[in-house]
Amino acid sequence: MSLPSLNQPFVEGSVQTRVGAVPQVSSSLAWADRWGSVKARWGVGRMHYTIDSGLYALGSPDGHSPVLVTANYKMSFDRLREALPGRQAWILVLETEGINVWCAAGKGTFGTEELVRRIASSGLEQIVSHRELILPQLAGPGVAAHQVKKLAGFKVIYGPIRATDLPSFLDSDLKANAEMRQKTFPIGERVVLIPVEFVSALKWTLLMLPVFFLLGGLGGPAGFWSNALDYGLFAVFALLGALVAGSVLTPLLLPWLPGRAFSLKGLGIGLITAFIFTAFRAGNLDGWPGRFEIVGWFLMIPAFSAYLAMNFTGASTYTSLSGVKKEMKWAVPLEIAGGVVGLCLWLGSRFTA
């Protein structure tokens, strides 16, 4: 038997069982738990936000209490216990290397094999008298219910997708209604995904900014630094605008943006962004250099925004791999072409008399 350590900050005590002292947790989160979630959302230490796998006691469960299964990503565990105030249950945590249930199920780490292994190593058979497990529905891609039954003797019952629906699921004879079974992608869920998207895109945008700023100084009508402060500084703002369009506005406005392909959605909002930014340069439109510059940004901003939007497919909850591949077949070449041609026009505009 292997039991999780009692020496974890969120463990409040222990419950004595036939197999030993099972760590006890409560449904109320401490300040440290909440702060941990915030950090994970911003991508700080997200890869190491794990807890020990194995069996935990929520409240004071007994042999008849339900067994809920989750991943060892601390946030998955916290969402689960937080949803069950005043309830007594066993929580079986699978080893998923700190990855949430759905992703781990897709990878196969939250899978039949790990579940069967964890049932055995936790001594669950000696702790509960029933033979039922409640799994989140999103474990489906990894767990084959009929095989768990065959291999471990436990019946897998798929609970609702959202932990917050668990109380009503438990109270209605373990039946989920159609709404509990559908994975939607509402605005609140999209908003919490924005920080990670933004921060990861910002990292390499920050590398590009000084390059564009200095390139802006080359050629042009005036001296190097006054050019840089004019063309270069505008480039910096334009790139940041495209970053916000692709990694913040696209996720936020997703259902309302035209097109099904994410690149199209990002393209649309990129074009609007290009309009707004280049309006500040409209004074330069009477000469060829100014026109080149503006056309260049009309290609670069939407291309960058479309690329970032395309990357949001990974975080979204409804894109298929076949669809993403189809989208990328046309979108990636166009994004690269837009970026390269735009960059050439922009650089060229500096050397056009």
Partner 1 sequence: MGQLTYLKNVVTLELDEEKCVGCGMCLIVCPHAVLSMNNGNAMIEDRDLCMECGACARNCPTEAITVQAGVGCAAAVINTALGRDASSCCCVIEPAEDQGAQVKDPKESSQASCC
Where does this chain bind partner 1 (CB under 8 A)? 99-100, 102-108, 137-138, 140-146, 158, 161, 176, 178, 181-186, 196, 200, 254-255, 260-262, 310-311, 313-328, 332
Q: Are 90 and 125 in contact (CB under 8 A)?
A: no
Structure-token match 């309302």, residue found: 256
Query: Residue 15: helix, strand or coil by DSSP?
Result: strand
Min separation Cβ 210 and partner 1, Å:
21
What one-character-per-residue DSSP string does 283-344 give?
Answer: GGGGSHHHHHHHHHHHHHHHHHHHHHHHHGGGTSSS--HHHHHHHHHHHHHHHHHHHHHHHH
Min separation Cβ 144 and partner 1, Å:
5
Min separation Cβ 187 and partner 1, Å:
8
Nearer to partner 1, 265 or 350 (CB): 265
Min separation Cβ 129 and partner 1, Å:
25
Nearer to partner 1, 271 or 332 (CB): 332
Nearer to partner 1, 18 or 260 (CB): 260
Min separation Cβ 117 and partner 1, Å:
16
Nearer to partner 1, 24 or 200 (CB): 200
How far is it, in rounded angstroms, from Cα 203 to Cα 206?
6
How far is it, in rounded angstroms, from Cα 228 to Cα 15?
67
Helices marked H in 62-181 — which ranges? 74-82, 101-107, 112-122, 124-127, 145-152, 166-171
Nearer to partner 1, 31 or 318 (CB): 318
- The torsion defined by the Cα of 97, 103, 108 and 112, in degrees rounded to 10, comes to 90
Min separation Cβ 56 and partner 1, Å:
22
DSSP label at residue 46: G
Nearer to partner 1, 11 or 180 (CB): 180
